[in-house]
Amino acid sequence: MIDSTTKLYGLLGNPVSGSRSPWIHNRVFETSRIQGAYLAFDVAEENLSQAVSGLRALGARGLNITIPYKTEIMAYLDSVDPEAAALGAVNTIFCDGDHWRGFNTDGPGLLAVLKRHVENLEDCRILVLGAGGAAKGICGTLLRGGIRHMGIWNRSPEKARQLLRTLQEMQIEGSDIMMVESEKRFDEFNLVINTTSVGMEPRTEETPVRISALHPKAVVCDIVYKPHKTRLIKDAQNEGHQVIHGIEMLIEQALLAQKLWNRLDEDSILQYRNILINEFEELHK
């Protein structure tokens, strides 16, 4: 229950109206004994600085940052974790008194999910669909996390080439990153990750890829979580592929943020993960 000891947590972005983060974090607060309340704040570009000052003055405890402020927010922080600095994007802030520290839990969240679902992930050949901001964070984390073989496909090849250059500039030892320009090469990969917005509500009939172009045993992962079962996930399931739903990544990045804010131990994380995934699936049956 909210009382005078309750700490403020929140999400800053624009737009944030469809975000599931308030549901996830408030469920964690309800299930644990942590006195917190999490709100979503739609902040206009010209108000970001004031919003940050206000939250500092009010003693906010933890924040998430979403599109379009993941890079801009870094200018307002007292320190940035090296991983987040390398990716050039912060999605989580731990407000430790006056000291605001920035982290990125998006990529590590996905990496943890993939490790749970895929054996010998380091040896996997991963095809990343998309070359936007989400793809950059995901590719960077996966390569830094030990993935060696990666292909990048994007609707606009020039953007894929740009991402390839950015990743090569990171000079991650042993990495083998390639452009994939034709669908004919999709079957060379055993894990496919959709980082594009294709299939997201309201255009739920769209899919970034023809399932028949993939290797029959490829694992298919979508970071889109609205709807819960995207067309890509449904097509993949119909063809017998192992799938990973977008909600798992969202929940994982949120639990990593909670770990930073409230020092959750592994047993609690396991407990909350199971509760959240089961409840989400129940709600979206």
Residues marked as catalytic: 70
Q: Please select the residue that binds ligand ATR; options are 48, 63, 198, 211, rule is CB under 6 A.
A: 198
Closer by beta carbon to ligand ATR, 7 or else 185:
185
Binding pattern to ligand ATR, positions 112-131, x when CB under 6 A?
A: ------------------xx
Count of positions on this chain that bind ligand ATR (CB under 6 A) = 15
Strand order across the beta sheet in which 7-13 lies: 36-42, 7-13, 62-65, 92-96, 99-103, 79-80
Closer by beta carbon to ligand ATR, 28 or else 126:
126
* Residue nearest to ligand ATR according to CB distances in the complex: 132
Query: CA torsion sign, 116 to 257 to 223 to 245?
Result: positive
Q: Which residues of 162-196 are buried (b: 16+ CB within 10 A; e: fewer)?
A: ebbeebeeeebeebebeebeeeeebeebbbbbbbb
Q: Please select the residue that binds ligand ATR; options are 66, 154, 175, 258, rule is CB under 6 A.
A: 154
Closer by beta carbon to ligand ATR, 148 or else 159:
159
Angle at 25 between CA 260 and CA 80, to 5 degrees: 30
User: Taking CB under 6 A as the rule, does residue 197 contact ligand ATR?
Assistant: yes
Phi, psi of 7 (to 5 degrees): -95, 150
Binding pattern to ligand ATR, positions 77-116, x when CB under 6 A?
A: ----------------------------------------
Helix (H, G, I), strand (E, B), or coil: what is residue 44? Answer: coil
211: Cα within 13 Å, side-chain hemisphere = 21
User: Taking CB under 6 A as the rule, does residue 228 contact ligand ATR?
Assistant: no
Q: Please select the residue that binds ligand ATR; options are 56, 99, 116, 155, rule is CB under 6 A.
A: 155
What is the C-alpha to C-alpha distance for residues 215 and 4, in angstroms, rounded to an integer? 56
What is the C-alpha to C-alpha distance for residues 258 and 260, in angstroms, rounded to an integer? 5
User: Taking CB under 6 A as the rule, does residue 226 contact ligand ATR?
Assistant: no
Q: Please select the residue that binds ligand ATR; options are 7, 101, 148, 159, rule is CB under 6 A.
A: 159
Asked if 251 contacts 276 with a C-beta cutoff of 8 angstroms, the reply is yes
User: Using CB under 6 A, which of the segments 8-16, 164-172, 190-198, 224-232 binds ligand ATR?
Assistant: 190-198
Closest CA to 31 of 282, 255, 284, 285: 255
Interacting residues with ligand ATR (CB under 6 A): 130-135, 154-156, 159, 195-198, 208
